[in-house]
Structure 1
Amino acid sequence: MASFFEMLYEGFPPLNLFYINGFSNDMFSADAYTSIGLMMLFSALIMEGLYYFVLSNYGKMHRRSFWFLWLFIIAVLNFVLAYINSMSSLTKVGTGSDYTFSQYFSFSMVNVLWAVVFSFIFSVIFKFWSVSASRTPF
């Protein structure tokens, strides 16, 4: 499982699109990728499930604009979760103070990217069973 999240968070080796020197190695060593990645997957799954099976059944919440708002909420939640958990994981290992805001921010934005991607995938799956939002987002 750790290698799957390493692949996501470091950007598909050997390309290493999201690799951050030193920071990525310490995150992998602290086993932070797995915990943050699982939180990202489960939060996207649960939040999209809530949207399609609960929220979309009320009023006009099944519209595309509310879906984008909900996606934005998922993105903000995952940014905060990744930022706080990456900082605490590296602090526990003793390397948390070695990194700047921009490195934590960059990692958190990568987490947001994957949260949006997985939310979209879950949307495609859930929309077929939704009563009101079967055409949301497309």
Structure 2
Amino acid sequence: MSEFFGSIYCWLEDFFGIELAEYLWGESSPEQLSNMFIGIGLTMLVISLIVAVCYYYIINHPRLNNWWGWLIFLGINAVINFVVGWQWVLKDYYAGLMVKKDAATQKMVDLPIYSDDILAFGVTNMLDAIIAFIIFSYIIKWWSTNCSRAPF
């Protein structure tokens, strides 16, 4: 499971930085030894599925049975997942957990991870959530009474 989520996030690791990717894998900091991609990835999938189910089965209004109605829910999903991915990692950044032991001085020093890298990870989470929402739309739209033809 960890390899799956790590691979779908690390297709853009150059965008959010190798150092942050190693931290999220649990490889670079003694403060964080578990793979964070699992929790973030599962949360992203659950949120995307919930938003898709809300669109196709809970809201399910005939007025939204078009491309712009579907696009509104895609945007809601994207914004929620951007905030979740960004804040999840930013919490560790502000808590001072992104550190490593310097080999020369044996002191703990900050990893070269910046707030821009964390913001870029939020964008990566958002892009993955958009893809997940599109996939969930293809899977579950067929049984909707009013929105089965949206967006395609």
TM-score, normalisation: structure 2: 0.79
Distance 1:34 1:90, change over 3 A: farther
The structure having more radius of gyration, on CA atoms, is: 2
Match of 2:146 in 1: 132
Where do 1:1-138 residues align within 5 Å? 1-11=1-11, 18=15, 20-29=17-26, 30=32, 31-56=35-60, 58-90=61-93, 94-95=97-98, 98=111, 99-138=113-152
The structural deviation recorded for 1:94 is 1.4
Contact 1:10 1:18 in 2 (8 A): no
- The letter of the residue matching 1:38 is L
Per-residue CA distance 1:96-127 (angstroms, 9 max, x = gap): 76422210111111111110001000001111
Q: Percent identity among equivalent residues?
A: 28
Runs of 4 or more, structure 1, over 3 Å off, are: 16-19, 89-93
Give, in angstroms, the shift of residue 17 of structure 1. Answer: 5.3
User: After superposition, what is the alpha-carbon deviation per residue over 1:17-70, rounded to whole angstroms, capped at 9, x for unaligned?
Assistant: 5561211101110421111100000000111011100112x3512222111011
> Could you say what the CA RMSD is over the residues aligned between the two structures, in angstroms?
2.1
- Listed as ranges, the gaps of 5+ residues in structure 1 are none
CA displacement at 1:76 relative to structure 2: 0.3
TM-score normalised according to structure 1 size: 0.87
Name the SS of the counterpart of 1:103 in structure 2: helix
Instruction: Return 5+ residue gaps in structure 2 as ranges.
Output: 27-31, 100-109
